[in-house]
Structure 1
Amino acid sequence: MPVVNRIADFAAEMTAWRRHLHRIPELGFDCPLTAAFLAARLRDFGVDEIHEGIAQTGIVAIIEGQGPGPCIGLRADFDALAIEEATGAAHASNHPGRMHACGHDGHSTMLLGAAKYLAETRNFSGRVALIFQPAEENGGGADVMVREGIMERFGIDEVYGLHNAPGLPEGSFCTTPGPIMAAVDTFELHLKGVGGHGAMPQETRDPIVAAMAIGQAFQTIVSRNVAARDDLVISITQIHAGTTDNVIPARAYMNGTIRTFDPEVQDMVRRRMQAIVAGHAASFEVEAEFDYVMGYPATVNDPGRVAFAAEVAREVSGAAQVEAEAGREMGAEDFAYMLQARPGAYLFLGQGSGAGLHHPEYDFNDAVAPVGASFFARLVERAQPAA
C-alpha cells in the first residue's frame, strides 16, 4: 500500500512510540504520562505551539504552513480501558487492570507521525491544529475540549478523525456521509419490593418478577413503537438481585444501553421506558426509581468532507481499498461533539484480522500506522495547498 515516502522512512520510530504508549495505559482524563510523552515528541518535531492542560490532560499543537489560510483540525484520542491485558506481547501494559484495548495508542501514533512530517515539510498554507484528546471511552473528553473553546481559540474551520477497525482489510478505509455512529444513552432501574421466603411468595412483593416483566416490555419498544426503517437498539446488560435459592429479595437492579440516530426516536424511547416502569411498578406493587441518562450524540459526517476525505484515502490506499458509502453502525464516539461544532468527517482504517476492539487480546496493528499518518498528512496538503 502506498504511503508518503518520508513517513515510511520513520515507520520503525512510529512503532516504538506506539508500543511505549501501549505500556503506559491511563484512564479517562487522568493521563499525565501519556500527555507528557506526546508533548515531548511534539517538541522534538519543532511544532510552533503546544497548548497543554486542556480538558485536564488534553493537548492542542499548532503547525504553521506557508502563508495565510484556514486551520484544519486533526484529532486523536489517547485514553485506555479498565481491562486486564491478555496479549502476552513484549510491549504489554505495565499498569495492571488497564490496557489499550481500543487502539487509542495507535491513533495518537498516527497523528504524531503526521505531525513529524508536516512540521518538517510545511507544504501547506494556513495552520494545522493537532488535537490529542483524553476521555473518549468515558467522560466525553471531546465535549469538554469543545466547551473549553478549542475551535474558537485556535480558529479551527473543519475537523477530521480516524479509528482503527479490526476485521476490515489492512490499510483500507471506510466511511459514510451523514450519520455514521449512533447516539448512546444509558438507563438504571432500582426496584424495591418486600422480600420473604421463597416458599411463601404470597407474602412478598417480588422485585425479580417485576424486573423480568419490565425487561420484556422494554423490547416491545423496538418491535412495536418504532418503524422498522429507524435504527434502534435497547440492550439490558445488567440485572442484579438475590443472594440464595430460597429467599425472595427485597431489591433488584437493572441497567442497559440505548442506541439511536433520530432525536425524535430517542425522546420516544425515554418516554416509553418511563411509562413502562411506572405501569409495571404499580401492577406489581413495587417502588421504582428510574434514571435515563443521555450520553454521546450521534456522530454525523459532513457529506462534502466525506467525499473529499475519500479522495485522499484513495490516493493513499487505492480506489479498491476505500468504501465511501459504508453505512452507519450502532457504536458511539464522542468525536460527535467536534462534528457538532465544526464540519468534518470520521473514517475507519482497517487493520486486518485479529481480536476485536475492547477484547483483552486486542493489539493495534503497527503496519497501518504509516497509512493513517499519510492520510492525515495528505488531507492537510490537499485541503490547504501551499501558495
Structure 2
Amino acid sequence: MNAITPELDQRSMKQWFEQLHRMPELSMQEGKTAEYIASIVKDLGYEVEVGVGQHGIVASLTVGDSPRAIGLRADFDALPIQEVNTLPYKSGVPGVSHLCGHDAHTAMLLGAAKYLAEKRNFNGTVRLIFQPGEETMQGGPAMIEDGLFERFPVDAVFGMHNMPGLETGKLYFTPGTTMAAVDNWEIEITGKGGHGSMPELSIDPVVAGASLVMALQTIVSRNVSPANKAVVTVGAFLAGNAGNVIAHSAILRLSIRTTTPEDRDMVLQHIRRLVASQSESFGCTAEIRTGVPGAVLVNDPEETEKAADIARKTFGAENVICPGPTYLGSEDFAFMLQKKKGTYCFVGNGNTKMVHHPEYVFDQNNLSIGATYWVALTESYLA
C-alpha cells in the first residue's frame, strides 16, 4: 500500500499484539500490562516515564534540534467480558478480554516506535502516550491531572481507534464533533425486602426500578431535538437472587450519551427528576452515584485536514475518507483534545462483530496500517 509498510517489523507487532491479548487487565488495574509496554519502549531507546496517572506511560524520543513535539496516544485496558473466540492467542483471564482492540492500538504504536527509533527521520520530539483506563473514562483525566502536558509538552496530540463496519484498512477523519460525551451513572433504589408471598408487608424496588426504566426512555424521544443525537441506556438491572424473595434494593447502571453541552445538562436534569419522582411514587428512596463527567470529542478542523492529507499521500486518496462518520460512542481522548489541538481517526476493521461483542476479532492486517499512519504523521509533522 505504501513505501513504509515493508520496513515495519511485522513479526514483532504480531507478537506484541497477541501477547497483550493473552494478558488482559481491567481499567486502572493494568500494572503488568504497563510493565510489559514500558520494557519494550525502554529497549527501543526511548526515555520512559511510568506511573503517569497511575499506570500511564510516556515514552519520548528527541532527534535533531527542533523544539516541536507531537503526541501519539494508544490505550491498553481491557473489558469485563468473557471472550468466546477460539483464537490461538485468546484471553487467558476468565471474564476479562481485549474485545475493543486496545491491545492492537498499543501494538500499532509500538511498531511505529521501533521504526522511528531505528530510522530517526524526523526533527523534534515524539511522545508516545500509552494510556490506561479508557473504558471507564478515568485514564485520560488521570494522566492530565498528573501533569501530562506540563511534564511532557506537545504541540498537538493524535489518537486512533479501529472500527468494525468500516471498510478494512481505510482511514476515516471527521472534523469537529465526532463522538459523544458519556456519563456512567449508578442508581440504587431502596425499598423494604420481604417474602414473595406477602408483598403488602414490603416495598418492592424491582417494580419501582422497572417503572423507572420505562420512564427514562421518554427523555431522548420527547426532549432532545431530532436534529441532535443522544441515548440513555440502562445496561444493568440488578436485584434479588430468588423468585420468592422481594429484594430490599435494586441497582440500575446507566450509560448516558449526548453530543452538546446543552443536551447533556438537560438530559441529566431529567434523569435526576425521574429518579426522584418514580422512586417516591412507589414509596422507595433512591441514591444516584455519578462517574467521571462526560466530554464530547471535538476534532480540531485544521489538524484533522492536515492529518487526512498526510494519510492521502501515504495510502492514496481512495483509502482516506474525510469527512468520516460520527458516533454516540465515547472516548476519554476527548479530555486530551480539550487541552491540546489534534484529531482522532478511525481505521476500518471490516465486517466483523462490533467492539465489546464476545466474538469481536481485530483484523491484524491493520497493525501495519496503523503503525504506518503514526510514522507518516510523525515524519511529516516533524519534518
Q: Which amino acid aligns with 2:15?
A: A
SS at match of 1:345: strand
| Runs of at least 5 residues in structure 2 that lack an aligned partner in the other structure | none
8 Å CA contact 1:3, 1:374 repeated in 2? no
Q: Name the structure 1 match of 2:27.
A: 28
Q: Which amino acid aligns with 1:84?
A: Q
* Higher deviation after alignment, 53-62 or 237-246: 237-246
SS at match of 2:123: coil
The question of 1:42 aligning with 2:41 is answered yes
8 Å CA contact 1:193, 1:207 repeated in 2? yes
Q: Name the structure 2 match of 1:77.
A: 75
Shift of 1:51: 1.4
Shift of 1:6: 5.1
Shift of 1:300: 1.3
Residues 164, 213 of structure 1: alpha-carbon distance in 2 compared, 3 angstrom cutoff: same
Shift of 1:111: 0.7
The question of 1:304 aligning with 2:299 is answered no
Q: Distance in 2 between the 1:284 and 1:57 partners?
A: 44
Shift of 1:342: 0.5
Q: Name the structure 1 match of 2:287.
A: 289
Q: Name the structure 2 match of 1:225.
A: 223
8 Å CA contact 1:73, 1:128 repeated in 2? yes
Residues 301, 139 of structure 1: alpha-carbon distance in 2 compared, 3 angstrom cutoff: closer
8 Å CA contact 1:7, 1:374 repeated in 2? no
The equivalent position to 1:343 in structure 2, one of 341, 344, 359, is 341
Q: Which amino acid aligns with 2:20?
A: L
1:20-58 per-position Cα deviation (integer Å, ceiling 9, x unaligned) = 2222222223333322332232233223x1112222332
Shift of 1:3: 5.0
Q: Name the structure 2 match of 1:375.
A: 373
Q: Which amino acid aligns with 2:54?
A: Q
8 Å CA contact 1:7, 1:113 repeated in 2? no
Q: Which amino acid aligns with 1:327?
A: P
SS at match of 1:191: strand
Q: Distance in 2 between the 1:265 and 1:324 partners?
A: 26
8 Å CA contact 1:6, 1:117 repeated in 2? no
Q: Name the structure 1 match of 2:106.
A: 108
> How does 1:138-177 map onto structure 2 within 5 Å?
138=136, 140-177=138-175
1:258-309 per-position Cα deviation (integer Å, ceiling 9, x unaligned) = 1011122111112212222222333333222233444441111111111111
8 Å CA contact 2:137, 2:292 repeated in 1? no
8 Å CA contact 2:183, 2:257 repeated in 1? yes
Q: Name the structure 1 match of 2:13.
A: 14
Q: Which amino acid aligns with 2:25?
A: E
Shift of 1:244: 4.8
The question of 1:187 aligning with 2:204 is answered no
The equivalent position to 2:126 in structure 1, one of 119, 128, 133, is 128
Q: Name the structure 2 match of 1:2.
A: 2
SS at match of 2:185: strand
Residues 253, 157 of structure 1: alpha-carbon distance in 2 compared, 3 angstrom cutoff: same
8 Å CA contact 2:54, 2:142 repeated in 1? no
Q: Distance in 2 between the 1:361 and 1:110 partners?
A: 21
Shift of 1:156: 1.0
8 Å CA contact 2:28, 2:132 repeated in 1? yes
SS at match of 1:314: helix
> How does 1:252-291 map onto structure 2 within 5 Å?
252-291=250-289
Residues 308, 238 of structure 1: alpha-carbon distance in 2 compared, 3 angstrom cutoff: same
Q: Distance in 2 between the 1:230 and 1:371 partners?
A: 33
Residues 361, 266 of structure 1: alpha-carbon distance in 2 compared, 3 angstrom cutoff: same
The equivalent position to 1:65 in structure 2, one of 59, 63, 74, is 63
8 Å CA contact 2:69, 2:127 repeated in 1? yes
Q: Percent identity?
A: 43
Shift of 1:163: 0.7
Residues 205, 92 of structure 1: alpha-carbon distance in 2 compared, 3 angstrom cutoff: closer
Shift of 1:246: 5.6
1:212-256 per-position Cα deviation (integer Å, ceiling 9, x unaligned) = 332222222112222111211011122234555565544333221
Q: Distance in 1 between the 2:224 and 2:357 partners?
A: 32
TM-score by length of 2: 0.92
SS at match of 1:72: strand
Q: Which amino acid aligns with 2:223?
A: N
Q: Distance in 1 between the 2:370 and 2:64 partners?
A: 23
Q: Distance in 1 between the 2:267 and 2:235 partners?
A: 17
Q: Distance in 2 between the 1:377 and 1:226 partners?
A: 42
Q: Which amino acid aligns with 2:147?
A: G
Shift of 1:139: 5.3
Give the paired residue count. 383
Q: Distance in 2 between the 1:238 and 1:231 partners?
A: 22
The question of 1:353 aligning with 2:362 is answered no
SS at match of 1:88: coil
Name the Cα RMSD after superposition. Answer: 2.2
Residues 292, 104 of structure 1: alpha-carbon distance in 2 compared, 3 angstrom cutoff: closer
